[in-house]
Amino acid sequence: MKTLTRKEFIEQVGIGAAVLFVAACAGSCKKTAQGPSSVNFTIDVSTGNLATNGGFLVQNGVVVARTSSGSFIAVAATCTHQGGTLNYSSGSNQFVCPLHGAIFSSTGAAVSGPTSTAVQKYNTTLTGNSLRVYS
């Protein structure tokens, strides 16, 4: 059995630590947020941000937006790149991550930026002033 020198021991420990770090980082350094899986809530759209075209809000992990034409869309609020909270840009009808500039379409598809993974889209139904957002 070979005896390790101090230098060889430190090198071996360093390599082992690096391998463990890379393995752990591979699963968690790049976030791929899927969004809430079970969504079912109602919002009163007669007041607040959703009362006017172009407004949006984040509720229960979902970005709900009122387009410039007055329809409602909803996607997961968390960017699939590194977990930033998405904003809605009514001028382009897209969701934008303020952290690194990822852009998602009104259907949740990745349009540009550092991610190619879409965000989850949710259904919306308007009855009177009550907007239901659901999976």
The pLDDT of residue 89? 97
Please state the pTM of the whole predicted model: 0.75
pLDDT above 70 covers a percentage of the chain that reads 75
pLDDT above 90 covers a percentage of the chain that reads 72
Going by C-beta distance under 8 Å and a sequence separation of 6 or more, which residues neighbour residue 46?
129
Rounded to the nearest integer, the mean pLDDT of the chain is 84
Asked if CATH classification 3.10.180.10 holds for the domain at 40-134, the reply, yes or no, is no
Tell me the two tokens of residue 101.
């500039």
pLDDT digits (tens, 9 = 90+) for 5-64: 666 555 665 544 433 333 333 333 344 456 888 999 999 999 999 999 999 999 999 999
Count of H-run helices and E-run strands, the chain: 1, 10
List residues bridging with 108 in a β-sheet: none
Round to whole Å and give the CA distance between 135 and 124: 9
The pLDDT of residue 23? 36
Asked if residue 118 lies in contact with residue 80, where contact means CB atoms within 8 angstroms, the answer is yes
Residue 111 phi/psi, 5-degree rounding, is -100, -45
